[in-house]
Amino acid sequence: MNEDSFFSINRLVEFGMGLAVAQQMVQTMNSAMANMHVPGAMNPLQSVAPQFYYAMIEGNQAGPFSEQELSRLIAEKKIVKETYIWKPGLPKWEIAEKLPEILKLVALAPPPFQQK
């Protein structure tokens, strides 16, 4: 078997090591995000009660949306960084890029699929 083959033992070991490192990175990031705090607030980003959000979409107030629904709207480009968002506890509407919990959803959204 050719040493450069994808199925060579060296390639499989590299793949396994890469997968293990990736899993460790995911665990570290999940832990860091779970322990992240909003500056000036004494509560963690992830609250015990489900959080709901409202958004200004195409000039209209829409919602309430769960984080999962917001993620879908972000992936569909209906919510962008300039979109105004409000949730219970905010004194006024804020643009999405100023809310850490919305930035977290943007970071977790997959990139658009492009087949070559």
Convert the pLDDT of each residue in 1-16 to its tens digit. 455 544 466 666 666 6
Place of tokens 């977790």: 108
Q: Does any domain span residue 104? A: yes
Same domain, 26 and 58: no
Q: Does any domain span residue 43? A: no
Query: What range does the domain containing 26 cover?
Result: 1-35
pLDDT, tens only, 20-76: 777 788 888 877 777 766 566 555 555 555 689 999 999 999 999 998 899 889 888
Same domain, 58 and 91: yes
Between CA 37 and CA 44 the distance in angstroms is: 5
Confirm if 35 and 44 have CB atoms less than 8 A apart: yes
Q: Does any domain span residue 40? A: no
Q: Does any domain span residue 21? A: yes
Provide the whole-model pTM. Answer: 0.53
